[in-house]
Structures are given as C-alpha cells and as structure tokens.
Structure 1
Amino acid sequence: LLGRFPLEARLPPHFELMDERSSAELLADATETVLSRAQANITPGLTSALADVSGRVMAQKFQELTRALAFNRGRFSRLLAAYDSVDGVAKELRRLFHLADEDSEQSIVSKACPDEAFDVVGLRKVVAALLDGGKTDAERSGLIGDWLAQPSARADGFDHYLSAFFTEKGTIRSTLATKAVIKNMPDAAEILTAEAERLFSVQNRRRLARITEATVSLLRVGEAQLAEYGEAKSRHAVLDYEDLILETRKLLQLPDVAPWILYKLDGGIDHVLIDEAQDTSPDQWRVVATLAEEFFSGQSSRDGVRSIFAVGDVKQSIYSFQGADPAEFEAMRRHFQERASQAEQPFRQVPLDTSFRSTEAVLRLVDEVFATDEARDGLVFGDDAVRHHAFREGQAGLVELWAPIQPDEKEDFELWSPPIHQMTGANPEEKLAIHIADRIRQWLDRGEILQSRGRAVAPGDIMILVRRRTAFVGHLVNELKRKNIPVAGSDRMVLTEQLAVMDLIALGRFVLLPEDDLTLAEVLKGPFVGMDDDDLFQIAYDRGERTLWQSLRAHAPRGGVFSEAVSFLSDQLARADYVPPFEFYARVLGPCGGRRRMVARLGREANDPIDELMNLALEYERAHPPSLEGFLHWIDAADTEVKRDLEDTGDQVRVMTIHGAKGLEAPIVFLPDTTGKPTQDDGFLWLKDSGKDAEGEGLSEDDGTGLLIWPVRRENEIGPCDTARQKIRTTRDQEYRRLLYVALTRAEDRLYVCGWETHRGRVKGCWYDLVAEAFDRITGVEDVDGVDGEAARRYSNPQTRAVDGVSPFTQPCAVVPLRGWAHIAPAAEPVPPRPLAPSRPEDDPPPVLSPIDQKHESGGLARGQYVHTLLQLLPDLPPEGREDAARHYLAQAGGDMGEGQLEELIAEVMNVLNDPDFAPLFGPNSQAEVPVAGMVGEFALSGQIDRLVVTDDEVLIVDYKTNRNPPKNECDVSDAYLNQMAIYRAALRTIFPELPVRCALLWTEGPTLMPLTESLMNERSP
C-alpha cells in the first residue's frame, strides 16, 4: 500500500526499509541529537525534563525507556493527539490522581509540615511519654521531638521523620509504642497511629506527584526524540518495520485521502487472508478492518464473492512483545460476525481440535495440564475446555517427567590453599545437560526404535526447547558436541560472541595496532597461526622492552611456526590500510586459508558466523566509508544477533527457544527449562483513560489511547497504577502458560519434561508444577529409571496398528571432500586485449576539445557526418533523384546550416558520385559502412569501413575524408589516418587471405582518390 501510494501517505517515493540494526543506529543518533540540544539549552523545557529523567535512572535504563517509547510510538502519538500536547496529558494525570495544578513533591511535603496540619500538641505529649519507655521508644521520641522542635527545617527533615513511623518497606510499623508507654499515656498509640496514617496519605500523594512529574518529563524527552527520529528517517528516505504498519493505518484513516485509496483498492481485493491471527497486533487489525469494510457496505465498485478468512489459535498467542493480544483476536471475531450479520452475509466459526501431529499420549498430557481453571486461564475464553482429538490413533507415544536435578550441598573450601585446582560450585544446569546428552547418546548407540515409524532414532528427530537463552543452552550444546552428537547449535546467536568472529576481529585489531600484545597473543593462539603455549612463551618471556610483534619478528629466522606467523601477519599488515573490510577478510579467509583453518579447529558450525560477518562487512561498506577501523567499531557498538533457520538442518539435534520453534515439530522433544517464571516488569504502564480517543470509538476495549505512566520504581505504584501492574502480571502469567502449550504441542511421538532447582527450590506455579499435577491426574502412569538416581514418571500408549511404512529420517546429501585444486589459488587471468577503434587510434588527438576550438570542430564533425551519410545512402538511388533526395535529407537533418553551406555540401557529394573515375567504388561489388571486428595483434578491433569493394581480383578499402585543403601525396597524410587504414588492411587480409588488399583515401574536396602504397601500409601494419 505504501509503495503504491507514497505521496498520499506523505512518504518519500522509493523509500527503503531499514533492518533492525540500522533502525537502532538511527534511533541512537536521534537520542544523541536530543541530548546535545538539551545540553545547549536550546529548548529550556526539554533541558529541565532531561535533567529530571536522568536524575531518576541510570544510562542503561534510560536507553531501555527510549527504545520502549520508539516501539510504542504509534500509541504514543495517539496519546499526544488525544490530549493535544504533553501539557494536556499532564492535566489529565492530575485529574486522575486528584492533584491540584500546583501540587508537587515539595509542595505536598511543605503543606504537611505546619503545626495546623497535624496534632502537634498531642505529639509533644507523646514525645515526653516515650522517654519513659524502652530504648526503641526513646529513639522514636528523639526523632519526633527533633522534627517538632525545628518548624523551619521540617520539610528538609521530613524523610528522616518518617522513619519513626514506617519500616524500610514503607509500611506502618506494627508497634509504635510499648505497653509501658501506653500504660502511662493511654491515648499515645491512638495519636501515633493517627499521625502514621496522615503521613501514609501524604506519602501516597507524594508518590502520585512524583509519578506525574516523572511521566511528564519522560513524555517531553520522548516527544523530542521521536520527532528527531522521524525527521532522520525522512532525510534518509527510510522506514522501519513498525512504520509499515503505523503509516498504513494512518494512510487509511486520512479523511481527505482514505476514500480515494479505498476506492482504488476496492477493485483489486477479493479475499482477505490472515494467518497466525492470534498474533496480529491492534494496529494490524485496524488496517485489516478498514480494508475489509467495503465487503459489508453493499456499495462496492463490483460484484462477486468476497471473503475474510482468518486462521488462529488463541492458545498459541505468545508474541505480546510485538503487540499481539488474544483479546483483540476475540474482539475482531465478534466485530466481523456483527458486520456479516448486519450485511446478511454468512459467517462461520470452525473449531480445529483434531491434531495431526501428536500421538495420544502427548495430547492426553496436554489436556490434563490445562484441565484446571487456573491453568486454563488465558488459553480459552469463557468456560471452554482444552480438548484434542488424535488423528494418529493407535500409534505409539510416551511422555516422561524426570525428577528435577538438585544442586549439590555447598562445600567448605579450605581457605588460603594454593590455587592448583579450579574451585567450582555445584551446577544443576550442567548436570541436566549431561543427563540429556547421555540419554541421546544411549539411544543412538543402541539403535533406539521409534515404534510409530518403524525405524531407529536419528539426531534430526530431536528438538530441545528452552524458554530463554541462558547459560544452560551453552552447557547443553557443548555437552552434545563432547559426546559426538551432531547438533545444529542455537537458533539465535550474538555474532560477537562466536569464536570464529572473535578470531577475525582480533586479527583486524592487530593489523590496526601491532603494538597490542594481548591481541597479538590471541591471534597467535588462534586458528590462523596455531601456536601452543610453549611457542608463545618463547617469544613472550624475557623480551625486555620489545613488543610481542618485535619479538616474534626476531624469532622468524628460526623458521617453523615463527616464520610462518611473521609471513602471514606481514601480508595482512601490508594490505590493511588499502583495502575495504570485506576485501581484507575475503583474502584472509580464501587465498590465505583462514576459513579452512577455522573450520578444522572449530567445526563446520563456524561457517555460519563467518558468513554473517562477511555479510555485515558488505552492509557496512554500503552505508559507511569502507575502513577496517570503522567496521570493527561498528561491530562492537551493538550486539548483533543473528537469527538462524533451523527448520531444515539435516540430521542434527536442534536447540531452540519456544518462540523460534513456533510452527515447527519433532518426533522427540525435551523441555528442560521448566522451573522458573518470568519476573521482569515493563518500565512503564498504560492506563485506560476515561474514554477520550483521538480516533473515535475503538474496535476493542483498549484500542483507544490510554494514559502512559512511568512509575520509576515499584514503590510508587499505588492506586490505579498498582491495579494496572497487577493486570500486566496476570497477562504475563497467561502468556507464560500459553508458551507451555506451544512447547508441549511441538512433540510428535515423545515428550520429556525435566528441569533443575536452585538452593531456593523452584518457583511456585512453574511449568514443572503444572505438568507434575497433570501426571497426578492421569491413570496408568508408571515409574521408570530416571536420572541422577531418581525415578521418572512415564505415561505411554502402545503401537496397536501396523506401521504405515518405514519413514527413514531424510538424510542430507553426502558431503563430498573438495579436490586438491579447490585449495590452490587460480592462476592470474591473461591480460585482456586492449580495445581499439581504428577511427580513433591511441595517437589521435584527445577527445576533449578546447573550448576555443570546440565550436569550429563541432561544426566540422557535423559536416563530415552529413557527407558520410549521403555517400552511404545516395548510391542506392537512381542518379536523377539523388540531388533532390540529398536536399530533402539536409533540410531535415541539417537545419542549422545556411543556404549557401547546404548547396556547397550537396555539390561536393554530387561531384564524387558523378565522377566516372569513382564509379567502380559505388558499383554492384561495393558495400557501404561495413562493420569489421576481430583480433589484430594484441588489439581487439571494432570499427566500420566507409566503402568496401570486393572483386575477383582484389579487395579495396576506401575511407572518406572531408578535410579542407587535403594533402597532395601520401607522405603528408596524418599518422592517425594511415594507422587506421593499416589496421583495416590487416584485419581484411585475415578474411581474404587469397586476394591482395589495397587501401585508398577519398578526399571529398576536389574530389580526389589517393591510393596508399603497399610499402607504406607494411610500415604501419600492427
């Protein structure tokens, strides 16, 4: 849509789409611009707002907030539009929190300090009574008494005064006075409690004022940042992924443009198809609804069957971080159902509860896990149950629940012992990784049979799913490799954390600064050189003031690895300053054998990160000056995460996040990351407002603007903020359970659920608990041998029908070893022949004319072209019509010629054609403008002969020359003309080896035909 209507969308035509990294860079640049502007105090309101925000959070948190605002900029823009400005939002927040315009943290404290604001008389009596109590009473008496004694300093000491009434967590102390104090003054507890409640109310108002001030400051900074980000995108004519949706939505809602757009589209849309509809964001739904509105209007520009087809499963909605909301899916279903009913069109909701993927055992566990109301919350709407029907009835399947791995008891290490052995604590994650790898290794060794498929288990049958990419993933991949189990690695990787990339970056840093000893040591120990510790020690030890590079060069005459290292590194140093990053690394990896050495040491999985780094080098060169220094800085500036497609990895174990495995499946699935729960909260909240909406009535309850709240800290979240936070956490828990549903349903035949615990145990309500409770409800569960000395629980169903047919795992194509010639650099290509146009040989005058001579020369060139054209065309016409044809041609082509010039040129041409001596040149054996091409010596010839005459006795080459005052003999002819004719002669002698080839120049002024002698042509022959 945007590409078709860019001007209507107010976007630059031919805009380009940015990738995530480019978007992040542009956003960072926009943030820097805003910070600089604030520092220069160009916009005073922005300066104070930035100072307020930066005073509340650290730099990293500030970056997280700005990124979150950029992601939510559609909602942010609608918020500002709904309330006209940031000031309008501030006014609405004060109304919501019951704050006056003048209320601030300081003013609220100041109003709480005068004597008339509280029972000052009663408190003074309590101060005296507390002195007769215990030690705690006396301390409280001192705190309260000191505060009361200094009315002018009460505001400054207010927070210290609060400690007399509140705990560190901000709650009112359970005991404000001991029994001894109350005995002497019965109303002491009542007075202290009343003051504590007053202060609690003051603190709440302070928190609300703090939230308001912080939120308004953040909105001002965010408004400036997003405005600068938008301007930067306009300057570069780019959009990011979020813009595609936001700008399309905006385009379809422009009152002066949208009707025209919809009219143009109405003739081109028959069907709207929405896949993965449960993960469609509200902004995307608004686009869909707008496009489909004409389907129900009855005023379409044409007739025909038109439909909306949406496929989605609320139970699999796991992309809330991209804006997906299951409630929106249900709201849109109702919306389209109502619109269809109003238009008297059919509407069908088709439940899909038959699973073609999983066996009965897997589906039975899934149904039981979500059988309770608490577990089902968020997966279905209303009282619907989670029930599946197995298409694969009678096929063998099983599910196992392993006992969680427990941490070992902490050992008391002997202090001050020599550090001979590494002291490591018990790590249950590593232990579980070992158990999983052992189980897989056992299956492969003994040929474990997948009964439903009638074949042995292959590594490619196994998928291991995790909730997060933690250290466990690294432990597991390493353990699988250690046991020689083919593994495809993780579905995502941070490029700069890959060993192959680290080696390449280290090499780049060395050539930029050879004096960096540590970097050089990394390169020497790496795959490019392959030194061992003994070799490195020889050049590093006792080298005095010399750098490691100097020491290495001094050892080069010893030969071996030292001379090889110096040769390799010197080669790279010589090129580093003169070639772009891609070319530098391409030579290192190719002709220098770097890739071969890296793969030999790190395995074939090193190829992926190497290729991604090379792709980034090309991307960098397209957008930046191609320097190696800049490229390495660019790489280090951001953690470049690479997404890998593991859908078809051949016969390898896949280790993936559940989000990455969405839509995939495997015969055997392990779920090891089951004992934790998400705990991280978002930085800000969105509160539903009073209904004011910049765009009118929304499609769902929360499609309006909402109010942005930045509470800064959890302790500030009170009242509506706390309610919103609890709702967010409830929503997060619902998605946590939907993620479990997706993980369980990836398994086709077997499912293994396991986990590990810390010394604090596992989190209550985690996945492991849900699965364990389901096993308790399933009949037919048996205990089998598990891991770590604990029994496992298994539920299975046998194979009761014949195997459909052995379906061997699809093996990848055999890896053919490269032939020897593939490792040898190809020989240098022969120098290509130099192109040669005979009409402008190398010794011809330069093609760029002097401005003084340009007018004269250009006129002469035009005259020569007219003569050549006429001598080409007129000989084919009857003699009596040639002059009229010449005059007609020049009248059109030579419009800038005067009458006298025109007549002079016609006379010159007609003199040539009417001369009987020249008749053989234009006879039946002649051809005009004959192209000739080929190799003449070291030159590639490409030219055109003005007139070629071929008879039984000879070949005659004629070239027209229109020079004024032509030479009288061949010795005075220009060298350029003579070379031209010699080249033509050499070429035609190859074509007509049995005939003599003669050359002649036809000077049109005269006219005169000048034969060129054979001796002269032989001297000029190339």
Structure 2
Amino acid sequence: EMRRYFRERAREIAADWREVPMNISFRSTDAVLGTVDRVFAGPVARQGVGDDGADVQHSPFRVGQAGRIELWPAVEPEERAPEDPWTPPTRIVRLEDPEIRLARVISGRIRHAIDAKENLTSRGRPVRAGDFMILVRRRTAFVDEVVKALKERNVPVAGVDRMQITDQLAVMDLVAFGRFLLMPEDDLTLAEVLKSPLIGLDDDQLFEIAHNRSRTLWHALREKAAVDEDGSPFARAYAFLFKWLGRVDYERPFELYAELLGGRGEEARGVRARLVGRLGIEANDPIDEFLNLAMGYEADHAPTLQGFLHWLMAGDAEIKRDLEQSGRDEVRIMTVHGAKGLQAPIVFLPDTMQVPTQAPNLFWQEDRNLMFWLPRVALETDLVARLRDDIALKRDQEYNRLLYVALTRAEDRLYICGWQGRRKAPEHCWYNLCSQAMEGYAKPAQIDLSTYSASGWDGEGWIWETDQSQAPKPDRTDDVTDSQQSTKRHLIRAVAPTESFPPKPLAPSRMIEEDEVHQSPLGGDQGQSFKRGLLIHKLLELLPDLPEQARRKAAERFLAQPIHALDPDQQIEIANETLGIFDNPAFAPVFAPGSRAEVPLVGIVGGDVVSAQIDRLVVRDDEVMIVDYKTNRPPPRDVEDTPRAYRRQMSIYRAALAQMYPGKTVRCFILWTNGPWMVELPEHILTFG
C-alpha cells in the first residue's frame, strides 16, 4: 500500500519512479523460501501479501545450504469409545485435549533433537535450545501447556513474551496472602489463603472451622489451634500466619515476599515449593516477575504492602520481555506479531487451524462519516453488507500477512502442525494453505509422532528438504577458542578483588580550624551579618553579566524581594557596598569579560579528593587568578594576619589549578566586601598540610 501511495504521488508531479525489487532474502534457506513462494502463489493466500496481486517471489542468498520443511498430520480430538449402557462406571476415562497432546509432542521433539545432538547442517554444529522458536497466532492456554511440557522435560525455555501478571494463579495466591496480613478479619480472603498451596487445607478442614462459627474465621482458627496438638494442620496454619502478621508492619513488600518465598529452615522447602507443586513448574516465571514488580515499586513509591497491592491490581500489569535480547540458550515462545524482525534456525507453527471469525456490529462509513449499528443480522442492509465484506477482506488479508511473517521467521527448518477442533478446519486456514502448496512438490511421508511422546499419533504428512552443497558457516559465537572459553569460565567463577573506598571529598571552604576568626558576639546580630554576606555574594555572582547601567536596578529588585526581609535602608546599604566593588578600578580584572563565577573544581591534592567551588576565576594567557569572597568576616589589618583556614583553602585551590594549567602562574586573592578591599596572598603564606 505504501509503495502504491508513493508511486501515485510521484506520477502526479511527473517525477521519475523506479520499481526496485527487494526479493533477495538473507535469512532463510531455499527450502523455506520455496515453500513460502508456493504457499502464496494461490489466489486466496496472495490477498494482502503480493503487491497488486503480483506473485510472491524470493531469491535466496543462502544458496547450497540445507533446509527442511515438515508438515505434520493434525492432531484430532479423541473419541470416547462407546460403552455398554449396563457397564458399571468403575473407571475414570481421561481424554487429552488435542492442544495438550500437541504441546507434549513438540516438547518431546525438541528434547529428542537436543539429546540426539542433531546436526544443524548449515552451521556445522549440534542443535541447542536457543535454536528453537515456537510461534502462535494468539496467546491462549496452548502457550501455557507448551511451557509446562518443556519444563517437565527440562528443556530451557524463556517463557512467554507477554504475561498478564494478575491473571496468574500463583500471583493471585500471593496477593490474597498480602490482603490477609492487612486485614485478618476478611473471612473470604483468609479462606482463599487457607485453601491455597501456602496452607493447603482441604474442603472438609475448612468446613470444620468455618461452619457454625460465632465470630470471624481468623478467631475460629485461633480457637481451633489452641485446643489441637502442635502438629495438627490448624495449629501449623495458625502459627504460620501469626508469625507473618507480626512482621507486616515492619518489612518492605519485597523483603516480606522474598523471605516468604525463599524461606529458612522448615520453610526452605515450603511456600515456593508448594506453589510449584500445586500449579506446576511454570509458576516460577510469574513468581519471579511478581518479586521484580515488588522491587521496582519500592524504587518509586513508599514501600508499604497496602500501596503495593493496590498499585499492582489497579495497574493490571502486563510483563513484556525482550526474548531476543536475553542472550540465553532457551526456547522462545512468541506471537507471530511479536516476532516481526526476529528469526530462529528452527521454527514450529502449531496454531494453524483456527481463523479469526469475529464480526463487529458497529460499522463506520468513511465517505459520509457515519456509524451504523447492526443489532442482528436480519436488519442488515446492502450498505452494511458491503461494509461487513470490506472488514472481512481486511481481516483475511491481515491473516495472510501474519502467515507470511510466520513462515519467513525460519532460517533452516520449519515444522507446520496444528490441532483439530470439533469442527472441521476452514479451507483457508494456515494449515490447509500450506498443505495444498506442499502437495505439488513435497514428498508424502508417514510421520509417527508417538516416538516423541506417549501422547503422540501418526498419519500422513509432507516433507521437503534440500541438501548441503556448501561448506558450513559456523556462528560467530562459535569462533571463540577453547582457551578463550576457559578464560571466560574462570572469570565468571573468580571472586572480584576487594576495592578500596574512595577518600572522602575535601571541601576547603568548609574546613573548620581552631584559629579561624570570628566576629565578636558584642558586635551585633550574627544572623543578620550572615544573611548580609550571602546576599552580597549572590549579587557578585549575578550582576557582572549585566550591562553596567542595568546593575543598580537589578540589585534593587533582587534585594526588595519579600523573602529577604530587608528594610529600605538595609537594601540601599547592601546595594551600595556591592556596586562599589564594581566601580573600583582595582577590581576591574576580576569582573572583566571572560571571567567566570561559581566555577566547580574537582581534583586530587596530596592524595585527597578535592571538591570545591571557586567564587571567581580569571584565566589569562600566562596566569590564573583565583578570587574568593569574604562577606561576613572583618578584614585583617595586614595580609600576614590572614587566618590560617583561609590560607590553607587558597593553597588547595592553587595546587589543584596548577595541575590543570601547567606552565601558568596561579595567583590567589581574597576580596573583602567589608571595605571593599582585595588583597593578593603571597606565596610564602600559602601552606597546605
């Protein structure tokens, strides 16, 4: 559609337009691409895929590399054998759903390939778990069954790419446990916890304490535990819950749940093991994601259990994991839509026999900007029928495009399979489209899938493969030498050396010395003097960047702000003192263009980390001037009487800047605003140490 759009726009302005075919595929082998071309050669599958109805044609870049396509016989629902009406029902007949059977066969096929070290011919190495990708059209219960089946066979699996965390049974149990801790009087929540794997009471035990009770269920449990032996189910349940009730007010959500699931002593094989034992090993993924959410919540919110549970349930959190970037050797299970742009050497397509059939009852006509509502089919008009057909056509085109994406994710091998429902699969479903295409070129084969699982079956299928005529091309990661791998393994297991703590930053302007000068307590209000000094310091930072004629008005506006609480006389006094500094020709170099205010300084002097801020810095071709303001101190009568703290502070500044500006003379000045008076500190009084 986009190509057609730009082509029409180009022709409207008589611009040159060239159709550049982009049909060279660098991903898949000839076996895969040949199947794709034949599938979409049919008029039904071609809709929405080929440009303007043109044939889909690919030119493989990977010529001479082995590939294989298998179309398995579809698994059909098991039929219950007819029984004599007079036969007593003495045995339980269990019929496996076709989805479960297919999930077990796929997991068995992957386990067999890994154990047998099947050769991935084009790479010249055995297959591994990370080579497999299972693509589904929708996230249904089949996905959970595949994850469960793979984990039962100890096949590394990355889980699903998306997970509605609050829909997971393990998370529901953990949320119910948290709600009980917040309100033990909630009978329904406590009943959920008692029946959950955390406690494990059965219906009869719950009925025993709940029936005919006069008070809350928690009170009934406490009374029952008091009269029972210590090892009874009720005593154990009460002791377990009472222990956690005493901790809920003091522990963060993550700490509480992490310790609950981790456990110590008798509990070490407890809560998580109970959840997994009841719900299956696939419960580990939602449990881990639940803990991740608890940790993430604490980073941005007050770490309260009530807040976390409210945030979790209100947000309806969906976990999306980037399986492509995980870098782990695991089977990936994804939707076809989520797999766009990804690839894998071996791909399974199991969800192939169902088609989208949902039809809306609201229709929008773009030409007239009108919406039509169809409560029932009997009221359908010709206009609505056309709108319905348009929607159905777009739906089928999208269905075909997803099939194209699914088929082209495979690099080397593609396994097409599916399960049959009670109704016959539609003719235009993915399975039938692929089967019809393979009839013309693939070899029919009797495929026995019972070798991979006791739930397997056999039947007629199709196989097409191409031989390897080129030298295998190993993965880039396979080029790592054994010595490099050994080094990596050593580094992974090695204990990192202890790092020394960095020295505490030294702030020269904050150093307190025993000989630092202080104003006399009889000389006036120290608070007012300190505030006055800060205001002058701020004006000396801001005013130099303004034009000379604008400085007085800016100073008056700044000092008149109510936050400073200055009377008019104080405002005039501070403004005059500050502006007098700028009017003094002796200070002109300090505030000349190119000088900088409040310059941060970080360096190492004498083995100490220095972190400071220089009031004014002037850098010239041959010298550097450091100016420090002293606004709330009386100036000494002689430069030799400069307090030792000030001399040490300036010597540290000078030592740090001497490293930054080698070859330049670093001069140190103190500008006493009470005067004003600026004095240069001679080198012989600058001492550091």
Q: Do the two structures share a fold, i.e. TM-score over 0.5?
A: yes
Q: Residues 458 and 809 of structure 1 are in contact (CA less than 8 Å); yes or no, is this contact kept in structure 2?
A: no
Q: 1:606 to 1:931 in 2, by over 3 A?
A: farther
Q: Is structure 2 residue 535 aligned with structure 1 residue 862?
A: no
Q: Is structure 2 residue 278 aligned with structure 1 residue 605?
A: no
Q: Residues 500 and 609 of structure 1 are in contact (CA less than 8 Å); yes or no, is this contact kept in structure 2?
A: no
**Alignment-mate amino acid for residue 325 of structure 2:** D
Q: 1:537 to 1:930 in 2, by over 3 A?
A: farther
Q: 1:868 to 1:488 in 2, by over 3 A?
A: closer
2:68 to 375, 398, 415: 398
- Residue 443 of structure 2 aligns with which residue? 781
- Residue 390 of structure 2 aligns with which residue? 727
Q: Residues 134 and 349 of structure 2 are in contact (CA less than 8 Å); yes or no, is this contact kept in structure 1?
A: yes
- Residue 359 of structure 2 aligns with which residue? 681
Greater percentage in strand: 2
Q: Tell me, in whole angstroms, the C-alpha distance in 1 between the residues paired with 2:473 and 2:535.
A: 81
1:363-374 alignment runs, 5 A limit = 363-374=33-44
1:3-152 alignment runs, 5 A limit = none
1:814-853 alignment runs, 5 A limit = none
- Partner of 2:27: helix, strand, or coil? coil
Q: 1:859 to 1:771 in 2, by over 3 A?
A: same
Q: Tell me, in whole angstroms, the C-alpha distance in 2 between the residues paired with 1:643 and 1:478.
A: 19
1:554-593 alignment runs, 5 A limit = 554=226, 558=230, 569-574=241-246, 576=248, 583-590=252-259, 593=262
Q: Tell me, in whole angstroms, the C-alpha distance in 1 between the residues paired with 2:399 and 2:192.
A: 43
How much has 1:789 moved relative to structure 2?
2.1
How much has 1:480 moved relative to structure 2?
1.2
Q: Is structure 2 residue 140 aligned with structure 1 residue 462?
A: no
Q: Tell me, in whole angstroms, the C-alpha distance in 2 between the residues paired with 1:562 and 1:472.
A: 38
**Alignment-mate amino acid for residue 785 of structure 1:** I
- Residue 742 of structure 1 aligns with which residue? 405
Q: 1:615 to 1:552 in 2, by over 3 A?
A: farther
- Partner of 1:802: helix, strand, or coil? coil
Q: Residues 254 and 291 of structure 2 are in contact (CA less than 8 Å); yes or no, is this contact kept in structure 1?
A: no
**Alignment-mate amino acid for residue 456 of structure 1:** P
Q: Identify unmatched segments of 5+ residues in structure 2.
A: 450-456, 496-509, 514-522, 537-558, 560-565, 575-633, 650-687
How much has 1:453 moved relative to structure 2?
1.1
Q: Tell me, in whole angstroms, the C-alpha distance in 1 between the residues paired with 2:35 and 2:529.
A: 94
Q: Residues 253 and 308 of structure 2 are in contact (CA less than 8 Å); yes or no, is this contact kept in structure 1?
A: no
- Residue 291 of structure 1 aligns with which residue? none
Q: 1:565 to 1:648 in 2, by over 3 A?
A: farther
How much has 1:737 moved relative to structure 2?
0.9
1:917-928 alignment runs, 5 A limit = 924=640, 927=643
- Residue 112 of structure 2 aligns with which residue? 442
RMSD: 4.9
- Residue 34 of structure 1 aligns with which residue? none
Q: Tell me, in whole angstroms, the C-alpha distance in 2 between the residues paired with 1:816 and 1:689.
A: 67
Larger Rg: 1
Q: 1:863 to 1:793 in 2, by over 3 A?
A: closer
How much has 1:662 moved relative to structure 2?
0.9
- Partner of 1:378: helix, strand, or coil? coil
Q: Tell me, in whole angstroms, the C-alpha distance in 2 between the residues paired with 1:897 and 1:769.
A: 92
1:550 to 222, 236, 249: 222
**Alignment-mate amino acid for residue 403 of structure 2:** L
1:450-849 alignment runs, 5 A limit = 450-516=120-186, 519-520=189-190, 523=193, 541=208, 545=213, 547=218, 549-551=221-223, 554=226, 558=230, 569-574=241-246, 576=248, 583-590=252-259, 593=262, 602=276, 605-606=285-286, 608-614=288-294, 617=297, 628-629=305-306, 632-633=309-310, 635-636=312-313, 639-649=316-326, 650-689=328-367, 706-778=369-441, 780-787=442-449, 788-805=457-474
How much has 1:444 moved relative to structure 2?
1.7
Q: Residues 455 and 807 of structure 1 are in contact (CA less than 8 Å); yes or no, is this contact kept in structure 2?
A: no
Q: Residues 455 and 806 of structure 1 are in contact (CA less than 8 Å); yes or no, is this contact kept in structure 2?
A: no
**Alignment-mate amino acid for residue 558 of structure 1:** D
Q: Map Cα deviations across residues 618-653 of structure 1 (whole Å, 9 max, x no partner).
A: 59x75xx98645654554456433222111341111
- Partner of 1:673: helix, strand, or coil? coil
Q: Map Cα deviations across residues 557-584 of structure 1 (whole Å, 9 max, x no partner).
A: 83799888656634542454677xxx33
- Partner of 2:640: helix, strand, or coil? coil
Q: Map Cα deviations across residues 137-161 of structure 1 (whole Å, 9 max, x no partner).
A: xxxxxxxxxxxxxxxxxxxxxxxxx
TM-score normalised over the length of structure 2 = 0.63
Q: 1:866 to 1:466 in 2, by over 3 A?
A: closer
1 or 2 for the larger relative contact order (CA 8 Å, sep ≥6)?
2
**Alignment-mate amino acid for residue 451 of structure 1:** T
1:896 to 569, 574, 579: 569
**Alignment-mate amino acid for residue 331 of structure 2:** V
Q: 1:648 to 1:572 in 2, by over 3 A?
A: same
Q: 1:743 to 1:863 in 2, by over 3 A?
A: closer
- Residue 377 of structure 1 aligns with which residue? 47
Task: State the percentage of identical aligned residues.
Answer: 39
Q: Residues 555 and 562 of structure 1 are in contact (CA less than 8 Å); yes or no, is this contact kept in structure 2?
A: no
Q: Tell me, in whole angstroms, the C-alpha distance in 2 between the residues paired with 1:817 and 1:532.
A: 41
- Residue 28 of structure 2 aligns with which residue? 358
Q: Tell me, in whole angstroms, the C-alpha distance in 2 between the residues paired with 1:469 and 1:868.
A: 65
- Partner of 2:333: helix, strand, or coil? strand
Q: Residues 520 and 549 of structure 1 are in contact (CA less than 8 Å); yes or no, is this contact kept in structure 2?
A: no
Q: Tell me, in whole angstroms, the C-alpha distance in 1 between the residues paired with 2:27 and 2:355.
A: 28
2:6 to 309, 333, 338: 333
Q: 1:460 to 1:556 in 2, by over 3 A?
A: farther
Q: Tell me, in whole angstroms, the C-alpha distance in 2 between the residues paired with 1:748 and 1:470.
A: 26
Q: Map Cα deviations across residues 944-980 of structure 1 (whole Å, 9 max, x no partner).
A: xxxxxxxxxxxxxxxxxxxxxxxxxxxxxxxxxxxxx
Q: 1:391 to 1:494 in 2, by over 3 A?
A: same
Greater percentage in helix: 1
TM-score normalised over the length of structure 1 = 0.44
How much has 1:538 moved relative to structure 2?
7.7
- Partner of 2:461: helix, strand, or coil? strand
Q: 1:932 to 1:401 in 2, by over 3 A?
A: same
How much has 1:532 moved relative to structure 2?
5.7
Q: Residues 427 and 433 of structure 2 are in contact (CA less than 8 Å); yes or no, is this contact kept in structure 1?
A: no
- Partner of 2:62: helix, strand, or coil? coil
**Alignment-mate amino acid for residue 443 of structure 2:** V
Q: Residues 671 and 752 of structure 1 are in contact (CA less than 8 Å); yes or no, is this contact kept in structure 2?
A: yes
Q: Residues 162 and 319 of structure 2 are in contact (CA less than 8 Å); yes or no, is this contact kept in structure 1?
A: yes
Q: Tell me, in whole angstroms, the C-alpha distance in 1 between the residues paired with 2:56 and 2:639.
A: 97
